[in-house]
Chain A
Amino acid sequence: MKTALFARPLPRDKADTLLLLGSAVLVLAPHTAHLPLWVSLLCAATLLWRGFITLRGKRMPSAMVLLPIAAGAMAGVQFSYNTLLGRDAGVAMLVLLVAFKMLEMHARRDLYVVIFLCFFLVLTNFFYAQGIGTALLMVVAVLALLTTQISFQFTGAVPSLKARLALGGRMLLFAAPIAVALFFIFPRLGGPLWSMPGSGGGSGGKSGLSERMAPGQMSNLAMSDEPAFRVRFDGAVPDKAQLYWRGLVLDAFDGAAWTRGGSLPAGGNVDLRVRGEAVRYELTLEPSDTRWLFTLDMPGHLPEIDGYRSQVSHQLELTSDRPLEQRVRYAMTSYPEYTLDGDTALADPSQWLLLPYGYNPKALAAGLALRKLANPVERVNAVLRQFREQQYNYTLEPPLLGRHSVDEFLYRTRSGFCEHYSGAFVFLMRAAGIPARVVTGYQGGETNPLDGFVTVRQSDAHAWAEVWVAGRGWVRVDPTAAVAPERVRRNLAAAVERPAPFGIDALRGLSLFQAGEDSLLVKLRNALGAVNNGWNQWVLNYTPERQAGLMQSLQSTLADWRFAAVASSAALLLLLARIFYRRRETDPVEAVYSVLCKRLAHLHLDLARAPDEGPTAYAARIAASQQLAPPSREAAVEFLRRYSAWRYAPPQPESSARLAATLKSLLSQLR
């Protein structure tokens, strides 16, 4: 049956409907990634039904059949999303609407409705994905929709699908430069037009850093390569060992986990004095569902982000007033040299000295023993020396720890990663009577040589410590650096020996991270990163500020005399090319003919060719005329005879150029 159906070309309307179905599938397919399964299945079933109706020439279902199904689908959306109005529920409703509308298409108007709805569905897909792949898919979908729309317009013979696709492609090709120009020039408004109702259901954000640090409760640190943020420095990238991206401060320890004590104050009072050279940079933060803003130690001011309000806590943590669900970009100035709370005494040091009762007795004793060193700096160095000189081991797969986690880590397992070291270090410091706290954030980053951006990934997450020393304020101490200096100087991959693929040692060299800095894989990764970053910077996060910058540089370019000279000469060249092209387009014989007619009209008004006069009739009139000298007359008549023979004869080998030469010589005899 099927072969019989396709044996001969489909009737035109059926082919068009199938094309429309195909385009709709192309538009709807990406949505299946986030839609409930039943919605996807219902849509697929509806489209298949429509295809069946088309192929077999069945009648469309009546409204009596469709209405209950539509009502049921609405109830299903309400059940799945608990609302009909949210963003995600709205998208699900639209998807179902397009599918059902296919079964209810009667007039040409309905076709436009379906195509326009499809355009909108292409947009709604961007709620969930905005990568380069999505953009390519968008172009393909628009091409399919255009081709469908074109196909419905033909009245006579319909060109092949390939020809129609070519026409659609040509339209897109012409449209692309205008679209790019509009994209960059069209004035951008910052911020949403109205407050968006909660995205309802699945949040698109990714969790960033955790606000809870429990060394020993996690046996395997996931090494996610997801970028956390990207930074572009004005000037040289500072030494990697200086790149401490400050995030949260964990000051409360309950025996098992370090957490933030208390809520964030709306406006903290920070006593920060900066000096030395400033580091200026611009940071693009990937979306997440947290509020943390990361800056290089120590930020000189609050970040200014369009649409958000930033604030600082008394422990110098930067946050925004609401979750950073969009990608944001902010310009910052940081000072590597600073004094934080540099007074002689802390107002309330007990907050950073508290230790839970009944935990880690050995570590507590060791810390108390440190108190015999008079100088706090010596106490710090003693612990760091302990980490460095004894058999401590940096690993991302440490053994699990029990109730006295610090004791077990310090005296038994002696292996762990930054969380273990910073946690144990702060514990010892507090026991030794030095105010101390854990700071988490990111450390390091990967410089992409192609575009100069530094990418900081989730795998660069780090925890370090701050101790307060009278007169010097809070001093950053990174105990992990004492154990695994590579972790800080280079990156995590360098500090940790990765397991060989499949446990086979010989394959170790294949591992991406083991590859040398100049290997093809690293270059490829850099190139991909640069493309992706360019995409984020220029397409996804093209803000009003960025636009203003672009316009300014554009203005200064346009005002430059060199640009004006180049542009005007290019325009002149184009004009000349066009004139030349036009001249070549007219046939040389026709050109000579029109010259002859003009010259005859010029010689005598009565000899002008009437608009409806053919060359033969014209020749006869000229032959009978008395206004011309006989030789001229004969030349003109001969000219017209030859022209007429050429013009009205079937196509012949004599090239029009050669005939034009003959005619020109005849023309020259005309006086």
Chain B
Amino acid sequence: MAVAGRAGFRGWLRRSTGKWLPRRGALDAGEIVLSQRRVFILPTRAGIGFAVLLLVLLIGSVNYQLGLGFALSFLALSCGLVDMVFTYRNLAHLALQQGRMPQVFAGQEAQFELHLTNRSKLARYAVWIDFDGIKEPRHAVDVKAGGTAAVLLAVPTTNRGWLQPARVVLSTRFPLGLYRAWSYWRPAARALVYPKPEEGAPPLPMSGNAAGSGRLGGNDDFAGVRSYQAGDSPRQLAWRQIARLDPELGGQLVTKHFEGATGDELVLDFATLPAYLDVELRLSRMTRWVLDAEQRALPYAFRLGALRYDAANGVAHQAACLQALALYGMEAA
């Protein structure tokens, strides 16, 4: 019964402390400093035990008229009060900032990066960090005076689309463990979860001949060489030219450049996929194809509903395509 009551109390506390937060429901964009209004503190079970101890000490002192007993009781009581301030200070005035935004495929873990900055002269120890609702926090960090620390918080993903992480709880019991100070942080930035690439998908839908042959289909007219750019496929490197130039003499990587015939280009069109397939499966297959084409450095055009991207290649093109796939059929957000 008692346990159930406590759980109920904890639950009530968790629900209600959120309400006191400044700008309830608002997300914490940019840097957030854990001000006095954001830090909550309550005694732990050990703290309640300590209170009982204080009561026993006081009763013993009164009953046996121990002058020094009173001194000890009040010293212990004051230490308890000082611990409350120290625990609060161990968490308060930490600055929080969100790090890089994760981009993952459904089924992978999205890792949110949280940076903690301690601008005070007080070293912070044993700050536990994890998402709300997790019973035993998984990460504990120390932040030196004037130092920073970073934590990667992993969230498993299942569905494509935007992933809004749950609020993060930062808590500490340092130094004596008699109190638990905690604060909430609601990361504003979301993670974009791409559809899961289909496994065992059919080969790329090459139009015309030599589909999936591994040759550079649609790129038959050699149009000279250009300097290497990041993202160029190793297969396109002009090895003969590279071998002729000694890197010591200013030689560099060069890439063969082709003028592709438009009729031969690779088009990834959602509409051409069989309609009897599930939408998610079709998106999944499109994702796989985008990744494959990118891996093989094939320029590809992309059609998804009303969206039309011309044939291209590279990180930005891939990101645009994947984002479109991730958000297909969802409200623009």
Contact = CB atoms under 8 A, between A and B. Distances in A.
Interface of A: 108-109, 112-113, 116, 119-120, 122-124, 126-127, 130, 134-135, 138-139, 142, 146, 149-150, 152-157, 167, 171-172, 174-176, 178-180, 182-183, 186, 188-189, 191-194, 196, 326, 539-542, 611-612
Contacts of B57: 119-120, 123
Interface in B43-78: 45-46, 49-50, 53, 56-57, 59-78
Nearest to B53: A116
Interface string B25-46: 0000111000000000000011
Nearest to A129: B68
B75 A153 contact: no
B54 to A, nearest CB: 9
Nearest to A135: B68
Contact of B72 (A138, A150, A189, A194): A138
Interface of B: 29-31, 45-46, 49-50, 53, 56-57, 59-79, 81-83, 85-86, 125-126, 128, 140-142, 173-177
A116 B45 CA distance: 13
A130 B66 contact: yes
A176 B74 CA distance: 9
A196 B77 contact: no
B177 A149 contact: yes
Given A130-B68, A183-B71, A123 B61 contact: yes
B49 A186 contact: no
29 contacts: A109-B46, A119-B53, A123-B69, A123-B72, A123-B73, A126-B68, A138-B71, A138-B72, A146-B176, A153-B173, A153-B174, A153-B175, A153-B176, A154-B126, A155-B140, A171-B175, A172-B75, A175-B78, A175-B81, A178-B81, A179-B71, A182-B74, A183-B74, A193-B59, A196-B63, A541-B67, A611-B30, A611-B31, A612-B30
Contacts of B68: 126, 130, 134-135, 138, 539-540
A113 B83 CA distance: 18
A137 to B, nearest CB: 10
A157 B30 CA distance: 29
The DSSP consensus for interface residues of chain B is: helix
Contacts of B173: 153
B125 A116 contact: no
A172 B79 contact: yes
B50 A116 contact: yes
Given A123-B57, A142-B76, A192-B64, A152 B177 contact: yes
A388 B49 CA distance: 72
Given A153-B177, A154-B125, A120 B53 contact: yes
A539 to B, nearest CB: 5
A179 B75 contact: yes
Most chain A C-beta atoms within 10 Å of own C-beta, residue among B74, B79, B83, B142? B79
Contact of B67 (A116, A127, A542): A542
B70 A156 contact: no
Contacts of A540: 67-68
Contacts of B177: 108, 112, 149, 152-153
A142 B79 contact: yes
A196 B64 CA distance: 8
B125 A182 contact: no
B70 A186 contact: yes
Nearest to A537: B67
Given A122-B72, A135-B68, A153-B173, A189 B49 contact: no
Given A155-B126, A193-B62, A175 B75 contact: yes
A124 B61 CA distance: 9
A463 B149 CA distance: 80
Given A130-B66, A167-B175, 19 more contacts: A116-B50, A123-B72, A126-B68, A126-B69, A127-B66, A142-B76, A149-B175, A153-B176, A155-B142, A171-B175, A171-B176, A174-B82, A176-B75, A179-B71, A186-B74, A196-B63, A539-B68, A540-B67, A611-B31
Give the interface centre of B46, B70, B73, B173 by most chain A CB atoms within 10 Å.
Answer: B70
Contacts of A156: 125-126, 140-142
Contacts of A179: 71, 74-75, 77-78
Nearest to A172: B79
Nearest to A149: B176
Contacts of B174: 150, 153-154
Contacts of B78: 174-176, 178-179, 182
A194 B175 CA distance: 37
Contacts of B65: 191-192, 326
Contacts of A135: 68, 71
A532 to B, nearest CB: 13
